Amino acid sequence: MKHYTGINDIGNLQQAVKEALELKNDKLKYRALGKDKTICLLFFNNSLRTRLSTQKAAQNLGMDVIVMNFGSEGWALEYDDGTVMDQGKSEHVKEAAQVVSQYATVIGIRAFAGLEDKEKDAAELVLNSFVKYASVPIVNMESSLQHPLQCLTDAITMEEYKIVGRKPKVVLSWAPHPKALPHAVANSFINMMQLQDADFVITHPIGYELDPKITKDILIEYDQEKAFENADFVYVKNWSSYRDYGQIKCTDPNWMITASKMKVTNNGKFMHCLPVRRNVVVTDEVIDSKNSLVIKQAANREFAAQIVLKKILENDETNSSENRRT
Ligand code: CP
């Protein structure tokens, strides 16, 4: 694997999940793999889990880690070609990406959607510019459209908690939120579920349909309670409207996840990527219940990142030894 920008880059998902769970049992086994290698994590947006778990995963593999809050500490970057840079942007991404590549074996990028311009967000300007101009592998730590480390984590967690021998029913449910949030987590979760053997349903208010190029023919059930019936996993996430791009069209608190809604599930597990707003998205009762997997999901972020970095380093090593032979 060269870059990890979306879940499909991992190859066989089931195999990757199996390998991640093996790593979880012996996380320092490949400590020699990252010796004398450095990962540089560039954050254009805030983070708790992604920052710490990716750092920990790299350290488990013996890598050195450099972290930079690029959004608040770096020079404002220009992305367009041929611009006369006489305004606020100080540095072109062409130089920035090449410069960072000299300090790092792998670069991680977090750059969220602006939610103002659908086409601009769809172009994944920050992520794709680093893929284009950097000379080392790029890991997507959440971009405008995708959060592939999160959905790999979710696949690992569902594998751990699924009922053996039963095809799981999984629901992706929208829930209310006071802020307009991006589509990346929901998009990636859907992409990952399309690689799973499961009954998968999405539920959200009318007007919250995600990009049909992502949802394709997945069942959308506008009745949340009906969608929850017999579910093994209820994955909850807010997103802003895709059609009326970036807008909040519904704040109805009846979409919040409550214990009475969870009662119609098959003793269903509650999942959320975090951070989450308690008693807006989900009641205390549900998130604090024994069926809540949110802390376990956060723990698995380490092993999702580690399997991704392991595959990148192994690929890098193979390429280096082939280059030495030729
Ligand atoms: N789930 C997730 O990506 O968390 P952070 O935004 O805190 O990294």
Q: pLDDT, tens digit, for every residue of 277-301? A: 999 999 999 999 999 999 999 999 9
Atom of ligand 1 nearest to the CA of 48: 7
- The radius of gyration of the chain's CA atoms, rounded to the nearest angstrom, is 20
Low-confidence ranges of the chain (pLDDT < 50): none
Q: Which of 42, 45, 47, 151 has the most ligand 1 atoms within 8 A of CB, as the residue to mutate?
A: 47
CB 136 within 8 A of CB 1: no
- Domains along the sequence of the chain with CATH: 7-146+301-325 (3.40.50.1370), 150-297 (3.40.50.1370)
Q: Which amino acid is at 135?
A: S
Residue 77 main-chain phi, psi, to 5 deg: -95, 145
| Residue among 269, 211, 218, 268 nearest 239 (CA) | 211
Alpha helices in 110-178 (DSSP H): 118-122, 125-133, 148-161
Q: Are 240 and 204 in contact (CB under 8 A)?
A: no
CA pair distance 96, 298, nearest whole angstrom: 31
Any residues with Cβ below 6 Å from ligand 1, and which?
47-50, 142, 150, 273-275
Give the pLDDT of residue 326. 59
| Pairing outcome for strands 233-236 and 169-173 | parallel
- For residues 126 and 93, give the distance between their C-alpha atoms in angstroms, rounded to a whole number: 8
Pick the residue whose CA is nearest to atom 1 on ligand 1. Answer: 273
Report the distance separating Cα 19 and Cα 284, nearest Å: 34
CA of 90 relative to ligand 1 center, distance in Å? 29
Are 210 and 185 in contact, with CB atoms under 8 Å apart? no
Smallest CA separation from ligand 1 atom 4, residue:
49
pLDDT value, residue 316: 83
Whose tokens are 């942007």? That residue is 89
Distance from residue 86's CA to the centre of ligand 1 (Å): 35
Calculate how far, in angstroms, residue 236's C-alpha sits from the geometric centre of ligand 1: 14
> Of all protein residues, whose CA lies closest to atom 3 belonging to ligand 1?
50
Cα dist from 259 to 109, 191, 233, 252, 262, whole Å = 37, 28, 14, 17, 5
What's the CA angle centered on 317, arms 312 and 318, to 5 degrees? 100
Q: In the prediction, which pLDDT does 325 show?
A: 62
Tell me which DSSP letter residue 276 carries: -
Please tell me the pTM assigned to this model: 0.97
Q: What is the pLDDT of residue 317?
A: 78
